[in-house]
Amino acid sequence: MASSTSVPAPRSRSKKPLGKMADWFRQALSRKPTKTPVSPENTRSDGSQPSSSDRPPPLGPSSEVSPTPPPTHSGAHGSSSSSGGGRWSKDYDVCVCHSEEDLAAAQELVSYLEGSTAGLRCFLQLRDATPGGAIVSELCQALSNSHCRVLLITPGFLRDPWCRYQMLQALSEAPGAEGRTIPLMSSGLSRAAYPAELRFMYFVNGWGPDGGFRQVKEAVTRYLQTLS
């Protein structure tokens, strides 16, 4: 016979905590998300393109970059480069060759030629040679850069081997050019003392009142006129 003693039913759990949780979920789901107003200035994110102020201006037809032409350089003597020849193709009109003991006479001749109306450009070695330059190279360059050469022939000129070298160098520069080499004979020399290397050309006689300076000037200007 079955026992009359009944087993007590299990105690039911309280539904109060579950009810609270369900109410919290319902409230969370019923809430509507709030939208923050966004201004046009804030629409650009970090990955967006830069603004027009950050962009370089576009290259249009008027803003194309063209290569800069290299600067042009003119010659040291602008007149000689523009004329292409003539008197200004050389640095000097006259190169005066003289002995060391005749420096005073050479300076007097140069002053006369440069002070004339023709304004002749003269090379005087002790005055116009480059300091530190070699004597031989300076002389050869002066003869090459001069239209005419005046040989101041004096007793000192004939005794000096260096003057003989100047004479031969002047003749080698223009052996067949008439009027370019002008011998000026000193008043203290006879005709017999005239150098044999110059016997094929006339000389200027220095016995005159002006020492032959006027004839030298006329001979140089006459040759310069043939260049124009």
pLDDT digits (tens, 9 = 90+) for 97-114: 999 999 999 999 999 999
Tokens at 141, concatenated: 């360059």
End-to-end CA distance of the chain: 162
Instruction: Supply the pLDDT for residue 174.
Output: 72
Measured on CA atoms in the order 172, 174, 178, 181, is the torsion positive or negative? Answer: negative
> When comparing pLDDT for 77 and 108, which is higher?
108
pLDDT category of residue 68 using cuts at 50, 70 and 90: very low
Instruction: Supply the pLDDT for residue 193.
Output: 92
Buried b (16+ CB within 10 A) or exposed e, 47-84: eeeeeeeeeeeeeeeeeeeeeeeeeeeeeeeeebeeee
Class level of CATH domain 92-227: alpha beta
Q: What is the phi-psi region of residue 86: left when phi exceeds 0, alpha when psi lies from -120 to 50, beta otherwise?
A: left
Q: What is the rounded average pLDDT for all residues in the chain?
A: 76
> Cα separation of 214 and 113, whole Å?
9
pLDDT tens by residue, 172-197: 887 666 789 999 999 888 889 999 99
pTM summary value: 0.62
Does residue 1 have a pLDDT over 50? no
Instruction: Supply the pLDDT for residue 159.
Output: 95
> When comparing pLDDT for 50 and 130, which is higher?
130
Domain ranges of the chain: 92-227
> Cα separation of 182 and 204, whole Å?
7
> Cα separation of 26 and 29, whole Å?
5
- 101 DSSP 8-state letter: G
Does residue 206 have a pLDDT over 70? yes
> Cα separation of 213 and 109, whole Å?
6
